[in-house]
Homo-oligomer: A and B are copies of this chain.
Amino acid sequence: MIKPRTTPGVMELLPRDQIAFQRMLDVIRRNYERFGFLPVETPVFELSEVLLTKTGGETERQVYFVQSTGALGQGGQPELALRFDLTVPLARYVAQHEHDLAFPFRRYQIQRVYRGERAQRGRFREFYQCDIDVIGKDTLGVRHDAEMPAVIHAVFSELGVGPFTIQLNNRKLLRGFFEGLGIADGERQALVLREIDKLDKRGAEAVRATLTGPDFGLAEDVADRIMAFVQVRSNSHADALARLDALGSGNATLAEGVAELREVVELLKAQGVPESDYAVNFSIARGLDYYTGTVYETTLDDHPQIGSVCSGGRYEDLASHYTKSKLPGVGISIGATRLFWQLREAGIIESAESSVDVMVGLMDESRLGDSLDIARQLRAAGINTEVQMEARKLARQFHYADKAGIRFVALYGEDEAARGVVTVKDLRAKEQFEVPRAELAATLRVELEQQRAMGSH
């Protein structure tokens, strides 16, 4: 006998949690489609040679390699490896199918990715990423950068996870600002930005001390200007624009960054995103060296400890490893597994009711034909219906429905048959009522639509 268990670092859910998780994915997918993004799925494994174009780094150390039985123990790097994000597969996909795609190419991808993380609570070796990207050929206007936060807004509004803020910044603006302070060297900027990225974790004092300490050796007034700069958070649309104005024109890089971020902020308003839901935040840098312009992070106002729930940005060239074509893009990613896990830990998400709307109980073996016919009518009306195929004790049938989270139990026994009605028990409202058999589907459909409209499914 083998102990049934999974490897640590995976999220496997019981059905009612899986239903809640599936609804989250459905909301994300529906909104991605609503904004005109097209679905793409790629294989879970890529050829190792294709996947691992960059040498070394944290990512490669965490890669899961795949090999069939026959290839085991033959030495050398295995031919296949599991994807560790959706960006490298996107780059490979766009380069491979370049001549069959229409640009700007707008794709969404909702699939699992794999990282050989150490086993630790809240760290996942397998997790869903939900990505959208717009990829241009040769060029892609900055206006597309303004579409991303509009999608984020739509998704998180519908997820119903409370108030959130989409935080915006621009890497050119950051670079230009540092150049203006005499920190012109790209690598040195990157180091300062990496320190600034720790602001939330280490606090302003500690970061300032590092900047004026031996590692960086910045003058006190330079450190002061940096600290003031990175603590900017706008609190309204007008404030966001004023904060940008206050930066002045400075050097060309700063001016370009300011102009881009201004356009993004203006277009957010034009798309009807409420000004309470976005802010400029000059401390946002994003860890990756990958981003070159606009960058995004999204935080839940009431749950800052969760950190960013949706991040992304603008990059110069998606697929330089695979094609000579220049493919600039902008994109965002939601890590749905981690998000779901954290929202559940924080008590924001609970197990869903069952996806089964109605259980047709069976009081009497001779009525099975009626049960099946009632179920057929309910299903034809779009109602998810389960039939008790055996006349177990009624108490057991109710216990089963209750444990499974099914709202309605429909009963059709001798008494009901004589009067042409169905008895319905509403386990949620703890009510019982009778409906003429022919009207059952229509009646329950109204009840279920009300429930859905109230968002309490």
Contacts and interface: CB of A to CB of B under 8 A. Distances in A.
Interface of A: 1-7, 10, 12-15, 18-19, 22, 33-36, 38-47, 49-50, 53, 60-70, 72-73, 75, 77-80, 82, 91-93, 95-97, 100-102, 106-107, 112, 114, 116, 126, 141, 143-144, 147, 154, 267, 270-272, 319, 321-324, 354-356, 359, 368-369, 372-373, 375-376, 379, 382-387, 389-390, 400, 403-404
A36 B69 contact: no
A68 B63 contact: yes
A384 B34 contact: yes
A155 to B, nearest CB: 12
7 contacts: A7-B46, A15-B107, A22-B39, A34-B385, A143-B390, A270-B368, A270-B373
A68 B9 CA distance: 13
Contacts of A63: 68-69
A372 B100 CA distance: 28
B322 A141 contact: no
B322 A3 contact: yes
B372 A5 contact: no
A321 B1 CA distance: 5
Nearest to A97: B14
A69 B65 contact: yes
B44 A96 contact: no
A7 B64 CA distance: 16
Contacts of A2: 49-50, 53, 321-322
Nearest to A322: B4
Contacts of A65: 66-69, 72
A400 B144 contact: no
Contacts of A400: 102
Nearest to A68: B116
Given A100-B14, A272-B376, A19 B47 contact: no
Nearest to A354: B38
Nearest to A11: B43
Contact of A43 (B10, B19, B322): B10
Given A65-B69, A68-B65, A386 B4 contact: no
A36 B5 contact: no
The 6 A-B residue pairs with the shortest CB-CB distance in the complex, in nearest-first order: A36-B386, A68-B116, A15-B38, A4-B96, A4-B322, A4-B95
A364 to B, nearest CB: 14
Contact of A66 (B12, B40, B82): B82
B387 A36 contact: yes
A417 B298 CA distance: 36
Contacts of A33: 355-356, 384
B61 A64 contact: no
Contacts of A373: 270, 272
A75 B116 CA distance: 18
A372 B271 contact: yes
A18 B39 contact: yes
Given A44-B112, A69-B116, A389-B143, A5 B96 contact: yes
A18 B1 contact: no
A107 B404 CA distance: 12
A322 B10 contact: no
